[in-house]
Structure 1
Amino acid sequence: MHTDLVAALDIGGTKIAGALVDGHGRILLHTQRATPAQEDGDTIMRAVEAVLGELTGSPLWSRATALGIGSAGPVDASTGTVSPVNIPGWRDYPLVERVSAATEGLPVELIGDGVAITAAEHWQGAARGHDNALCMVVSTGVGGGLVLGGRLHPGPTGNAGHIGHISVDLDGDLCPCGSRGCVERIASGPNIARRAIEGGWQPGPDGDTSAAAVAAAARAGDSVALASFERAAQALAAGIAATATLVEIDIAVIGGGVGKAGDLLFTPLRAALRDYATLSFVQRLTVAPAQMGTDAGLVGAAAAALSRQSSATTAAGVGG
């Protein structure tokens, strides 16, 4: 059995990546294409099929036993469809059916990208050895996923753990999702930058208004930039504490571009967490930076495909 591989797809608004991954999480073959995100659905699917073509054309392909997909969301694993916010051409797009057809009926497991990164961090990264974990991606958006009782918990549609759309400010700004004061509306990279600019922060001569530029200014002591990061940290702490109180996680892992800000984010986050995570059973909660890097989506999609296989074999009364 150990010679078996799984195929993985990581689909986002910028790139579509594919890989063949072994049972130890090692990527043996990697390929990617730019996502034609503004094109129609079938044009986007042709880019996916081009990635799959490179995988199926490999001599290793004959060993692939399943395929995992981590996609920008929302996804609906119960129907095999995706409607990614940042890929307008796909609305209720039958991705599982189309991928299955392109791979001659290989079993396909679909999960949201936040859940995929969670699977990777639990299998190989910062949440390894933790049976109850929340993993978050804080970048252009804020996504996440849960591990409960030692197993990935994607929920019925594959979106469980989507912490970016917990409201942490009841009368806060309207979020594009339709709610108010969401974690994402306060803590995502573009919103950290927006708040700094609204507060009077001036970008340097290069005109860079990214969250990374705000982080550089904060490190140099700019008080408005610092305040924007502190507000983001507070929103993240409130969302993490709410999650820990609800399902008893013992670690929160934070990745994504904003997570790379290091102490600038983690120091005020840990301080704010002490204010919000006050009950005895959440006081031991730790916060750690993600370890998996850019291949996390692929490794996590592979992990989901592998765990689906192992539960199928167990259910059939074979192995374990």
Structure 2
Amino acid sequence: MSTDLVVALDIGGTKIAGALVDGAGRILVRAQRPTPAREDGETVMRAVEAVLEELDHSPLRASAGAVGIGSAGPVDASAGTVSPVNVPGWRDFPLVERVRRAAGLPVTLVGDGVAMTAAEHWRGAARGHDNALCLVVSTGVGGGLVLDGRVHGGPTGNAGHIGHISVDLDGEPCACGGRGCVERIASGPHIARRALENGWHPGPDGDTSAAAVAAAARAGDPVAVASFERAGQALAAGIAATATLVEIDIAVVGGGVAGAGEVLFGPLRRSLRSYATLSFVQGLTVVPALTGTDAGLLGAAAAAVPRAGASTS
């Protein structure tokens, strides 16, 4: 079997995506099922197995040498288990063993933030950088680290989870149990919530998403602008803290909220100049991610075969 071709799985609360990915990062075959997130754990697992079975129908599948999984978390890569917040039926679910049994191949598990980081280091905006932070800013805020040229997942696969760095010591309680976390301020739902609480009024369509707030901010609505300013400030504080600890030189920001463009990146970069002030972090740059909605699949593939993509540790 060639390890140039791998089976990649991207598992989230909305969809379970699968692909056959080659050593150049090309997605050759795709499969997808909705995640039955409110069902029991075995029902969710059957959806994963259905994706694997669909990939099995391709004649290329016989050449695959490994499986990589990027999953919503928390994950425990050392134990091979997952407990995604948005999939209640999976708590300490033995996903690695179940997928190994179904696919008959060695399996590597990483969290979705680490998967996105592996993708960006292999094929995206962090390519060529030995020390980087990659963030997903969406319904939540996740992330991962590249240190000394290798994606650093940490003992359980959760290293770099910037969303739960506290940047407001007296801030609002976060769902994680902490207070004033980056996610509580900068995630899409909280950008929208803050705008609504401060008097922003959605348009005639009633859309109260972060994307609608971004559109209002581009049109000059001061409340919408302020909500994104606050999000950018929180992200900047978390990025600067990370850079100070481990000396990254680039932060790559992806996820749905990053689609706001300069509405987010403008205040983020301005705030970063206020927080990243020490000489060894002043050159830190912030750029948009490049791998888009395929980040989970590409990152899972890179994690499964480190030599083909971003090496992991």
Q: Give the TM-score range, shorter chain.
A: over 0.9
- Deviation of 1:55 after TM superposition, in Å, equals 1.4
Which residue of 2 is the match for residue 53 of structure 1?
53
Which residue of 2 is the match for residue 87 of structure 1?
87
- Deviation of 1:311 after TM superposition, in Å, equals 11
Over 3 Å counting, the alpha-carbon distance change for 1:50 and 1:220 in structure 2 is: same
Q: Which runs of 5+ in 1 are unaligned?
A: 313-320
Which residue of 2 is the match for residue 28 of structure 1?
28
Decide whether the 8 Å contact of 2:167 with 2:237 is kept in 1: yes
Decide whether the 8 Å contact of 1:109 with 1:308 is kept in 2: no
Alignment of 1:136-215 (within 5 A): 136-215=135-214
**Secondary structure class of the residue paired with 2:160:** coil
Decide whether the 8 Å contact of 2:182 with 2:234 is kept in 1: yes
Which residue of 1 is the match for residue 241 of structure 2?
242
Worse-superposed segment, 53-62 or 247-256: 53-62
1: CA distance, partners of 2:182 / 2:4: 40
**Secondary structure class of the residue paired with 1:121:** helix
Which residue of 2 is the match for residue 315 of structure 1?
none
- Deviation of 1:57 after TM superposition, in Å, equals 2.4
**Secondary structure class of the residue paired with 2:241:** helix
Deviations 1:149-182 (A, max 9, x none): 0001000100000000000000000001000000
Q: Which runs of 5+ in 2 are unaligned?
A: none
Decide whether the 8 Å contact of 2:82 with 2:91 is kept in 1: yes
- Deviation of 1:287 after TM superposition, in Å, equals 0.3
TM-score w.r.t. structure 2 length?
0.97
Counterpart code for 1:122? H
Does residue 100 (structure 1) correspond to residue 100 (structure 2)? The answer is yes
2: CA distance, partners of 1:202 / 1:150: 46
Alignment of 1:3-22 (within 5 A): 4-22=4-22
- Deviation of 1:205 after TM superposition, in Å, equals 1.0
1: CA distance, partners of 2:290 / 2:308: 25
**Secondary structure class of the residue paired with 2:286:** strand
Decide whether the 8 Å contact of 2:195 with 2:224 is kept in 1: yes
Over 3 Å counting, the alpha-carbon distance change for 1:59 and 1:219 in structure 2 is: same
Following TM superposition, the consecutive aligned residue runs of length 4 or more in structure 1 with deviations greater than 6 angstroms are: 308-312
Does residue 134 (structure 1) correspond to residue 133 (structure 2)? The answer is yes
2: CA distance, partners of 1:267 / 1:299: 28
Decide whether the 8 Å contact of 2:122 with 2:310 is kept in 1: no
Over 3 Å counting, the alpha-carbon distance change for 1:2 and 1:50 in structure 2 is: closer
Over 3 Å counting, the alpha-carbon distance change for 1:82 and 1:270 in structure 2 is: same
- Deviation of 1:39 after TM superposition, in Å, equals 0.1
Which residue of 2 is the match for residue 71 of structure 1?
71
2: CA distance, partners of 1:175 / 1:285: 28
Decide whether the 8 Å contact of 2:2 with 2:65 is kept in 1: no
Decide whether the 8 Å contact of 2:130 with 2:149 is kept in 1: yes
Counterpart code for 2:40? D
- Deviation of 1:309 after TM superposition, in Å, equals 8.5
Decide whether the 8 Å contact of 2:3 with 2:305 is kept in 1: no
1: CA distance, partners of 2:171 / 2:115: 30
Does residue 110 (structure 1) correspond to residue 109 (structure 2)? The answer is yes
Decide whether the 8 Å contact of 1:121 with 1:292 is kept in 2: yes
**Percent of paired sites with the same residue:** 79
Counterpart code for 1:82? V
1: CA distance, partners of 2:203 / 2:225: 16
Q: Count the aligned residue pairs.
A: 311
1: CA distance, partners of 2:172 / 2:76: 28
Does residue 220 (structure 1) correspond to residue 244 (structure 2)? The answer is no
- Deviation of 1:59 after TM superposition, in Å, equals 0.8
**Secondary structure class of the residue paired with 1:65:** coil
Decide whether the 8 Å contact of 2:302 with 2:310 is kept in 1: no
Decide whether the 8 Å contact of 1:19 with 1:31 is kept in 2: yes
**Cα RMSD between the aligned structures?**
1.5
Counterpart code for 1:280? S
Counterpart code for 1:201? W
